[in-house]
């Protein structure tokens, strides 16, 4: 007697094998698993191997429903979700190269589940596992068959939408990274084509969050170009951080020492300076006093 059947598309052997393995592990006593092919689908049929009375069959069916809900929710969240993300990327962002698509996949999964294992990621997983489990149980109330891909398509639209949103965010992050990379290349070019105006620059941040630049003799650097840049800050919405970057590029020193760098809260600024002046930057926790 056939009690239930789970169908899965055969095109993905990894998912098929994972489903077969998990179904066999969770097979209740008194039932056999029979495989049947129909078109591009593989069905795993739960067959009763004994003649049971109706009450026993009812108990077996109730227990079987829980086993199936456990299996389906696990296969979706542990095995199928990455394939779903790959398909979204393939359909919507096919124009990216393979390396970029791989990065989008990794970043989307991190966005979806909160990155490395954390309390937050476990809460998210637990929420989805509970929700998928509940919807499988609801499906089983009126159906003796579940086709995995169809169940996801019609009963888990919100899960699919959340995966799509994670992919979109990962793509946005990638484009921002690419823009930043091009920006850094441009700044490096500006530095490379200039002759260094001083050998070394010491950077100090004052209590007012403004930066002071000192030369190798610890004297304040003053030149016409820096004065022009300083005037711009009063005419435009230019931050002190942007002014610092512009000043360093204008001076193009051979070495930059940033003192008490841990006081600078804008870590992106420090990363940008490190990237533009690669190999020329020293981070120091020591403070210095300018010479008059």
For 118, the token pair is 């954390």
pLDDT confidence of residue 232: 54
| All residues at 6 or more sequence positions from 142 whose CB lies less than 8 Å from its CB, including other chains | none
pLDDT tens for each residue of 58-114:
887 888 888 889 889 988 998 889 999 999 999 999 999 999 999 999 999 988 887
pLDDT tens for each residue of 19-36:
878 777 776 676 778 888
Quickly tell me which residue has 């109330």 as its tokens: 141
pLDDT tens for each residue of 236-250:
556 788 888 888 998
Nearest to 255 by CA among 187, 195, 196: 196
Query: What percent of the chain stands above pLDDT 70?
Result: 88
Nearest to 44 by CA among 20, 70, 79: 20
> In this predicted model, which residue has the larger pLDDT, 227 or 10?
10
Is the per-residue pLDDT at 134 higher than 90?
yes
Which CATH code, of 1.10.10, 3.40.720, 3.40.50, 3.30.420, is assigned to 200-284?
3.30.420
> In this predicted model, which residue has the larger pLDDT, 3 or 142?
142
Q: Predicted confidence band at 267 (pLDDT cuts at 50, 70, 90)?
A: very high
Domain extent listing, the chain: 2-187, 200-284
pTM greater than 0.85 (yes/no): no
Nearest to 136 by CA among 159, 111, 165: 159
Query: What percent of the chain stands above pLDDT 90?
Result: 42
pLDDT confidence of residue 237: 59
Given a contact cutoff of 8 angstroms between Cβ atoms, the answer to whether 186 and 245 are in contact is: no
pLDDT confidence of residue 115: 61
Q: How many helices (H) and strands (E) does the chain have?
A: 10, 8
């Amino acid at each position: 007697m056939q009690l239930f059947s789970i169908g899965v598309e055969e095109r993905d052997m990894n998912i098929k094998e994972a489903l077969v393995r998990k179904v066999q592990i969770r097979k209740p006593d008194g039932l056999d698993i029979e495989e049947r092919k129909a078109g591009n689908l593989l069905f795993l049929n739960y067959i009763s191997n004994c003649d049971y009375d109706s009450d026993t069959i009812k108990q077996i069916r109730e227990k079987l429903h829980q086993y199936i809900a456990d299996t389906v929710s696990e296969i979706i969240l542990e095995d199928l979700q990455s394939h779903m993300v790959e398909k979204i990327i393939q359909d919507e962002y096919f124009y990216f190269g393979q390396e970029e698509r791989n990065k989008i996949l990794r970043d989307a999964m991190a966005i979806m589940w909160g990155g490395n294992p954390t309390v937050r990621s476990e809460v998210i997983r637990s929420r989805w596992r509970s929700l998928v489990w509940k919807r499988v149980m609801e499906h089983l109330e009126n159906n003796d068959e579940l086709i995995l891909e169809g169940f996801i398509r019609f009963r888990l639209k919100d899960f699919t939408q959340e995966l799509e949103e994670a992919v979109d965010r990962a793509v946005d992050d990638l484009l921002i990274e690419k823009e930043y990379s091009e920006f850094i290349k441009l700044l490096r070019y500006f530095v490379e084509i200039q002759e260094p105006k001083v050998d070394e620059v010491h950077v100090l941040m004052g209590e007012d969050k403004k930066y002071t630049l000192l030369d190798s003799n610890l004297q304040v650097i003053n030149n016409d170009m820096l004065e022009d840049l300083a005037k711009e800050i009063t005419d435009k919405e230019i931050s002190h951080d942007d002014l610092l970057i512009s000043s360093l590029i204008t001076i193009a020193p051979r070495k930059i020492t940033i003192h008490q760098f841990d006081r600078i809260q804008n870590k992106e600024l420090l990363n940008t300076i490190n990237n533009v002046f690669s190999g020329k930057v020293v981070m120091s926790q020591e403070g210095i006093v300018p010479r008059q």
